[in-house]
Amino acid sequence: MDAIFDVRNLSVYYGDKIGIKDVSLQIYRNKVTAVIGPSGCGKSTFLRTLNRLVELVDGVRIEGRVLFDGKNIFDRDVDPVELRRRVGMVFQHPNPFPKSIFENVAYGPKIHGIKDREKLQEIVEDSLKKAALWDEVKDRLSESALGLSGGQQQRLCIARAIATNPEVILFDEPTSALDPIASSKIEELMIELKKRYTVIVVTHNIQQAARISDYTAFFWMGELVEYDRTEKIFEYPENELTERYITGRVG
Amino acid sequence: MDRLLKMKERIIVLFLILCAVLTLFVTVSIIAILLGESLLFFSKVSPVEFFTGTRWTPTIKPYSFGVLPLVIGTLMITIGAGLIAIPAGILSAIYLSEYASERTRNVLKPMLEILAGIPTVVYGFFAFAYITPYLKKIFPDMQAYNALSASIVVGIMIIPIVASISEDAIRAVPRSLREAGYALGARKPRVILTIVIPSALSGIVASFILGISRAVGETMAVTIAAGRTPRLANILNPEDWMKSIETMTAAMVEIGMSDVSGQSVAYKSLFAIGLTLFAMTFALNTVSYIVKMRFREVYR
Amino acid sequence: MKTENISDWLFMMLTFLATVFGIVLLSALLVMTFYEAAGWLDIQFLTSPPSRFPEKAGIYPPLLGSIMMIALVGIFSVPVGVGAAIFLEEYGSGKKITKIIEINISNLAAVPSIVYGILGLGLFVSTMHLKPGIVLVGSLTLTLLILPIVIVASQEAIRSVPGGLREASIGLGATKWQTIRNVVLPSSIPGILTGVILALSRAIGETAPLIMIGAATTIFTAPKDIFSPFSALPMQIFMWTDMPKEEFLYGLAPAGIVVLLAIMLSMNAIAIVLRNHYRKKLRW
């Protein structure tokens, strides 16, 4: 199996506080990897390091290496802009821009140089279809994105991330702000997306992780406790802490 | 004893109500006086002549009461000031909210507010005593009284209005919108220009309008520096900016300081200009309020 | 972000320069002003009346006129402004009339100051038949001008008093007014004072309204009482700027400006010191 991310001894510090400590694991291509753990365990920090978004925080310090497709993303000659084109992100609260649906999805391709109107229309339609939103919005592409429901807005954000043609999509608790029906649509979508992309999902919902992921990483207090195939983590975990978290006795 | 206390309180509350209602009375008085005296004026001078006439000579024969030259004068100063204050204001707002550290902001923001706190007489002095001579070195044709110097100082004066309100609008844009932009690979200037600013647009536009309204009402700086020559200047002609003009407010000051009799038509024209001025600033402030309220962005 | 490129840095520089542009320009202008005022600022200047002869001229009558007028403005504006604020916050909150009054106040705050001059002229001189150009009329006019500022500042000060204090007072059996007088007001006084001083510092720099109500452009005697004609600091500066002789424009006017700015600066400094002092004292 092919590792698209190879994380080696990654540590992230916010000033004196530890975000994550000495994390090493490999993320496999075209699989859904879930990152679970209680609040504050470092799972969001880990996710945001993969697209170097964590660097936006004042006073942050990063040690270790993250190899994306064989190249360390922290190397001096790596352009974070290009990295973020290849590694997209969907956030916890749907955050469409206050622009039209079309403009939201076209934003990414536009800033990466695609100007041709027809090409953009193609990309927008294609992305919205892949995000299972096209049928619902095809007649109102020029309307404001803020008029969509919460679940639709989140699928729009997924389409927006897909539009830059990434290889990896990072999801930071994508359904925690949505109702159960909208959530299950997103979950179906994530499983479908792995055919074309590598999906990494941070979630505090253990059952969700069990439902959709192939691999699961369990974080506790900034450290990676266990990482393995999902069935193994949930049915016979090796670490006692993992077992206690999965069964709800802790965290 | 109790009844006395209650009565005393009732009287006090009555006084408080009167204080609050006084403010309504102030507005009513302003409108009444402006309207009243203007109507007297318009009974002697036709509104058509006033609003469409192109000569303003209230005290020199042959008398002419066309307000257009004054409006053009006001417009020139406003446009000139806007050209300075709007870019400087919005760029300052961007710097203060997106780049400056907390410490820097705490130093620069009060300094910016000082610009608005300097009395306008002092700005008039600056324009006339320092800026005009300096500009004369660059443009030899510059006259002692000119529109450009006055525009510059009025522009500086209103930068804090634009900057402060725009900054509030920019800060109100949620962080997650910026993050989405970065996550898609945009760099900071692009995130600011294509996401943050459009998302804060209603507040920013409101700040422009308020700044302009302030420039329209500006009196002393333009009276001292821009001159008292009412004429139909050509706003698009740079040379006209180097010559003397007169704004609505300066004309009012001129009449107020002159010896004309309080009963004369010339004196009453003061109120007609005042009414026009009041209407303009009131309209601008109302539009600004509407822009802010109606088009207020909802970030979901 | 760790890796910035040149155009990112240039953009940031642009915004920074825009921010300091006005500040730098103003500083330069102020330095020039102080430099030229230096030779003219002395005791003689502060204690003499204006004169046709620059060396003899002084700023005493307008200085006193301004001080007298501002004191009066303070006396008028505090009861009315605070009274209105108390009504709006304590008795009228939520009522429809309050919203109308508040919108009206914010409109008044944006009316050009020269229009207030016209108001003063029409109301106090024409209608109430007070003599034009006297201290009383000037003070009344400027009181109306700064009233919106005083009201809003007082409202904020009153609003910041925690509701729990009011509840405690009512719970002990006090009436509404007793609560206001003994609990709310004492706690809001620092905020109110700060707001009033800042408003007065604005009023002292106003010229246009005073011209409209007929204040003297040049006067040789200080006002004796509130019914005396008077001139004010900014008006004298205005006159000196207009005069033909160079010493007036480049000597006396700057000196007058320095005096005016010094007074304003002191007032602002007092306001800030007061605010900080009471902020420490009244830690809730």
ipTM of the complex: 0.91
Q: Which two tokens stand for residue C32?
A: 């020039």
Residues of chain C with C-beta less than 8 angstroms from the C-beta of A79 = 3
Domain for residue C282, yes or no?
no
**Rounded mean pLDDT, C260-274:** 92
Predicted confidence at residue B292, as pLDDT, reads: 84
Tens-digit pLDDT profile for residues C85-126? 999 999 988 888 999 999 999 999 999 999 999 999 999 998
**Rounded mean pLDDT, C184-193:** 89
- pLDDT tier at C60, thresholds 50, 70, 90: very high
In chain B, which among 27-56 make CB contacts under 8 A with chain C? 27, 29-30, 33-34, 36-37
**Hey, are the CB atoms on A82 and B190 less than 8 Å from each other?**
no
3-state secondary structure of A6: strand
Calculate the alpha carbon distances from A149 to A96, A146, A152, A218, B189 in Å.
Answer: 11, 8, 5, 32, 30
Predicted confidence at residue A112, as pLDDT, reads: 84
Q: Which residue has the tokens 């302009």?
A: B212
Mean pLDDT of chain C: 90
Domain for residue C169, yes or no?
yes
Residues of chain C with C-beta less than 8 angstroms from the C-beta of B92 = 15, 18-19
In angstroms, the separation between the Cα of residue C194 and the nearest Cα of chain B is: 15
B126 vs C: CB within 8 A: yes
Q: Which two tokens stand for residue B50?
A: 């006033």
C7 vs A: CB within 8 A: no
Please state, in angstroms and rounded to a whole number, the distance separating the CA atoms of residues B245 and B233: 7
Predicted confidence at residue C227, as pLDDT, reads: 92
Tens-digit pLDDT profile for residues A71-107? 999 998 888 888 988 999 999 888 888 889 999 999 9
Tens-digit pLDDT profile for residues C132-180? 999 999 999 999 999 999 999 999 999 988 887 887 887 877 788 888 8
Of A64, A59, A18, A60, nearest to A40 by C-alpha is: A18
Please state, in angstroms and rounded to a whole number, the distance separating the CA atoms of residues A49 and A37: 17
Q: Which residues of chain B have pLDDT under 70?
A: 1, 297-300
Domain for residue C57, yes or no?
no
**Hey, are the CB atoms on A111 and B184 less than 8 Å from each other?**
yes
- pLDDT tier at C1, thresholds 50, 70, 90: very low
Please state, in angstroms and rounded to a whole number, the distance separating the CA atoms of residues B186 and A81: 6
The answer to whether B59 and B65 have CB atoms below 8 angstroms apart is no
Residue A14, amino acid: Y
Helix, strand, coil fractions of chain C, as percent rounded to 5: 75, 0, 25
Predicted confidence at residue A228, as pLDDT, reads: 94
Query: A215-220 and A32-36: which strand pairing?
Result: parallel
The answer to whether A251 and A220 have CB atoms below 8 angstroms apart is yes
Please state, in angstroms and rounded to a whole number, the distance separating the CA atoms of residues C38 and C255: 7
Q: CA triplet C147, C153, C156: central angle to 5 degrees?
A: 140
Q: Which residue has the tokens 């402030």?
A: B285
In angstroms, the separation between the Cα of residue C4 and the nearest Cα of chain B is: 9
Of C201, C190, C196, nearest to C81 by C-alpha is: C196
Calculate the alpha carbon distances from C217 to A66, B228, C13, C204, C238 in Å.
Answer: 76, 18, 46, 15, 8
**Hey, are the CB atoms on A84 and B177 less than 8 Å from each other?**
no
C2 vs A: CB within 8 A: yes
C281 vs A: CB within 8 A: no
B196 vs A: CB within 8 A: no
Torsion on CA atoms C5, C8, C10, C14, rounded to nearest 10:
-170
Check pLDDT > 60 for residue C3.
Answer: no
Strand-pair partners of A18: A13
Domain for residue C270, yes or no?
no
**Rounded mean pLDDT, A195-204:** 95
Query: B56-57 and B64-65: which strand pairing?
Result: antiparallel
Number of independent structural domains in chain C: 1
Question: Rounded to an integer, what is the distance from CA A43 to the centroid of its chain?
Answer: 11
What residue numbers bound the domain in which C125 lies? 65-231
Q: What is the CATH number of the domain that holds C185?
A: 1.10.3720.10
Please say whether the dihedral angle defined by the alpha carbons of residues A183, A187, A192 and A197, taken in this order, is positive or negative: positive
In angstroms, the separation between the Cα of residue A49 and the nearest Cα of chain C is: 13
Subunits next to B (3 or more Cβ pairs <8 Å) are A, C
Predicted confidence at residue C187, as pLDDT, reads: 84
Residues of chain B with C-beta less than 8 angstroms from the C-beta of C19 = 88, 91-92, 95-96, 100, 108, 112, 163
Predicted confidence at residue C167, as pLDDT, reads: 79
Check pLDDT > 70 for residue C4.
Answer: no
Domain for residue C49, yes or no?
no
**Hey, are the CB atoms on B299 and A98 less than 8 Å from each other?**
yes
Residues of chain C with C-beta less than 8 angstroms from the C-beta of B120 = 205, 207-208
- Percent share of chain C, pLDDT over 90: 60
Residues of chain B with C-beta less than 8 angstroms from the C-beta of A106 = none
Of C29, C200, C62, C145, nearest to B225 by C-alpha is: C29
Q: How many residue pairs from chains A and B have C-beta atoms closer than 8 A?
A: 69
Q: Name the range with the highest mean pLDDT among A111-120, C24-33, C175-184.
A: C24-33
**Hey, are the CB atoms on C1 and A80 less than 8 Å from each other?**
yes
Domain for residue C246, yes or no?
no
Domain for residue C13, yes or no?
no
**Hey, are the CB atoms on B271 and C118 less than 8 Å from each other?**
yes
Please state, in angstroms and rounded to a whole number, the distance separating the CA atoms of residues C267 and A251: 58
Predicted confidence at residue C52, as pLDDT, reads: 83
Domain for residue C55, yes or no?
no
Of C151, C142, C183, nearest to C166 by C-alpha is: C183
Please state, in angstroms and rounded to a whole number, the distance separating the CA atoms of residues C178 and C168: 12
Residue C26, amino acid: L
- pLDDT tier at C2, thresholds 50, 70, 90: very low
**Rounded mean pLDDT, C224-229:** 90
- pLDDT tier at A173, thresholds 50, 70, 90: very high
Residue C191, amino acid: G
Check pLDDT > 70 for residue C25.
Answer: yes
Please report which residue ranges of C59-162 form alpha helices under DSSP H. 60-86, 96-109, 113-120, 135-159
